[in-house]
Amino acid sequence: MDILIVEPLDPEVMHWLVARHAVRYAPDLGREPRGFRQALYNVRSMIIPPSVALDAETLHHAPMLRAVGRLSAGAENIDVDACARAGVEVVRPSNATAAAEAEFVIGALLQMLRRVPVVNAEGLLVGREIGGSTVGLVGMSPAARPLAQLLSAFGARVVGYDPAVHANDGIWARWKVEPVGLRELLEESEAVAVLLTYFTRYHGLIGERFLPFCRPNQVMVSIAPSSVFDEAALADALGTGRMAAAWFDSLEPGMLEPGRPLHDIDNLQITPRVASTTRESRVRSAWGVARRIDELLTQPVVRDFRPPERPTDEPLDLAAGGASG
């Protein structure tokens, strides 16, 4: 079998794949872990939803697998390292969801800036505007480019930080984002958008070393994995009022349970990873994943696959003076 499809697809994309390959469409397997594993013995590629886990043990049931696709942003259900060792390419729509994510962040910032008032010179509680504000972007992911364009159109000053992008890299000028250090970004920004692509070395990056310096009444939107934050430091910033409000588009299971630092923090809003999911982004993602899988299936099998070099788990020097060292 060429392609096992467990994720619902746009009909045009499905017809396009069926015309080119042997396809099995079986969304019910997403609720049947045992049946899913049993179906993998002759599968060359598959498209799975976030609810279906693909780990090293599952890969043992898929000796012919060459590619696994996921339409939505992220890959928390896929063991990327295990796939690399097995020679399985993980196909994700890195740019297809950028516009949807940028629009989500703009909407969230607009809501929070108006909904969380500040005291003005006359002593009145009033909302704020994006225009004239400084907005910080943490992470130069694909969504950062359209987001910077939208923010600039509002009249905002856009600053940014990415530990993997040097301050002299041309991307800053091309995307019209001013590179600064993380501490400087938090000190200067009325609003912050966290877009960082997750690697293990970024675990807890935004924590007690930086959050105490956030600008008073700052609001923050994060579409990054919540593990880039230190939850105790985040809870302290929100609970003491140093940060006015935060909006996370995903949160690790259990982080709001009693006994955890973020339990009962009432100025934290959570949405269930909806930033990247729109009608339009789903179609773009489906076409992107389908075309890449089609390309892989029509290529000869490469026998001497070498997994990519894994990034070090050592944290980078996050010096406050520059965007990256």
The answer to whether position 313 is within a domain reads no
pLDDT one-digit tens code per residue, 30-48: 999 999 999 999 999 999 9
283: phi then psi, degrees, rounded to nearest 5: -65, -45
Split into its structural domains, the chain has a count of 2
- 3-class DSSP state for residue 295? helix
139, 196 Cβ separation under 8 angstroms: yes
Radius of gyration for the alpha carbons in the chain, expressed in angstroms and rounded = 21
d(CA 170, CA 222): 25
The arithmetic mean of pLDDT across residues 198-209, rounded, is: 90
Same domain? 34 vs 136? no
* Percentage of the chain modeled with pLDDT above 90: 77
Same domain? 9 vs 131? no
Domain that holds residue 25: 3-94+278-297
pLDDT one-digit tens code per residue, 175-198: 999 999 999 999 999 999 999 987
Same domain? 78 vs 102? no
Same domain? 289 vs 256? no
Question: Distances in Å between the alpha carbon of 103 and those of 139, 146, 179, 304, 312?
Answer: 16, 8, 22, 42, 33
Same domain? 201 vs 253? yes
d(CA 243, CA 212): 9
Same domain? 290 vs 208? no
Same domain? 252 vs 291? no
pLDDT one-digit tens code per residue, 288-301: 999 999 999 998 76
Q: Could you tell me the pLDDT band of residue 316, with boundaries at 50, 70 and 90?
A: very low
DSSP annotation of 146 reads H
Same domain? 68 vs 177? no
**For the whole model, what pTM was predicted?**
0.82
Question: What per-residue confidence (pLDDT) applies to 181?
Answer: 98
The answer to whether position 237 is within a domain reads yes
The arithmetic mean of pLDDT across residues 112-121, rounded, is: 78
